[in-house]
Amino acid sequence: MKVNYLSVGQINNYIGELLERDDVTSSCCVRGEISGYKYYRQSGHMYFNLQDENGSLNCVMFKSSNRSLRFKPQDGMEILAYGRISVFAKQGRYQLSAWALEPFGQGELLRHLEQLKNRLAQQGYFDPDKKKSIPKLVNSVGIVTSREGAALRDMLRILQQRHPKVQIIIAHSAVQGVDAPSEIAEAIRRLNRQDKAEVILVGRGGGPLEDLMAFNSEEVVQAIYESKIPIISAVGHEVDFTLADLAADERAATPTQAAQLAVPDSMRLEEDILSCRRRMTRVMERMITEHRQWLDHLTGRAVWRDPLGIINVYQEKMRNTERNLSRAMAETIRSGWFSLMIQMNKLDNLSPLKTMQRGYALVEKGRSLIVSGEQIEIKDRLNIVLSDADVQVEVIGKEEVKRW
């Protein structure tokens, strides 16, 4: 018995054709939260899921469609996806082939930016202590922006007006769309590798928040933070504010102001130099005049009119001082000699020899001086010291006597 059958591929293709002809699935708008987002740089395609509390839908957005994106999709972002339902026959899986995406309401986009801002702030990307100072005198400026944008023309005009000799290095990048964050970040890194620019301007003209989303991406914020060259952000108009502004070393309200901050006004600088030169000239002339007056004052003093007369006066003073010094020294010597003689007489009167001349003697036993009878024994040999002789005697008797 012959059985009619369909292959798996035929079934999947048939279902795909049904979906493509259906009024609902052939062109629809789906609201959901992004999860599992992946972007393949080599092919340029994006794959993600849209989910809500009731289910999940596989989605794909091919390179030809995502070029026009004004923001970078991220997990957790609620969006509206425009596209059609198609079937991937090899796997029997249906998916939404999106041709356009947009955030679901301004509030959702702002909520996402606030969460990203808080996370990057915790990682230190906006730390004021890590910001680099902008050089006062800059002769080389790097610019990261689109070659086709009006912002570039404005910056070039201001830079050339203020500093005609400034070297300008343009690093072209997209400033909106899904590729913009990676291109901006790479342009910043490229200028750092070249190491020719002294300051970098990063920005674009104004627009709605969705157009500025590249400058709210983590990739651009990280490249600005890691740059060794100081960066001035120049995104949009004065009311526009992006995460790139928070990460930059200096924030300009407009691209025009960024160019003004980057380089000095050469005309004003020349005027300042001329003014300083005039002030220095006046100060030097005043100092020369003052020193000339002081010199005239010195040359009018007597030392310059009659130097020999002054020398003679000081020589006479020196001779008088010398005579006075000699008299004082002689008087001091005489006075000292008289005092010495008096002291010598006093010392002589206290001498033991003077006492011995009056009939007294010293008695020694060996090397010891006898001061008491207890030191003497019978038959001891003693030495009697007189004022004019020494006498040796032997003790033949001893009698104790109390003199007082």
Angle of helix 180-194 relative to helix 218-226, nearest 10 degrees, comes to 10
Hey, which residues does 34 pair with through a beta bridge? 50
Using one digit for the tens of pLDDT, what is the confidence trace for 46-67?
999 999 888 899 999 998 888 7
pLDDT tens profile 138-163: 999 999 999 988 899 999 999 999 88
Q: How far apart are CA 142 and CA 332, in angstroms?
A: 91
* pLDDT the model gives residue 170: 94
Does the reported pTM lie above 0.75? no
Q: Which residue has the higher pLDDT, 240 or 180?
A: 180
Residue 226 has pLDDT above 70, yes or no: yes
Q: Is the dihedral of CA 317, 318, 324, 327 positive or negative?
A: negative
Strands 93-103 and 78-88: antiparallel
- Rounded to an integer, the average pLDDT of 359-380 is 82
Would you say 152 and 145 are in contact if contact means Cβ atoms under 8 Å apart? Answer: yes
Compute the mean pLDDT over every residue in the chain, rounded to the nearest whole number.
85
Q: What angle do CA 116, 122, 127 make, to 5 degrees?
A: 105
Please tell me the predicted confidence (pLDDT) of residue 237.
Answer: 74
Q: What integer is the mean pLDDT of 203-211?
A: 82
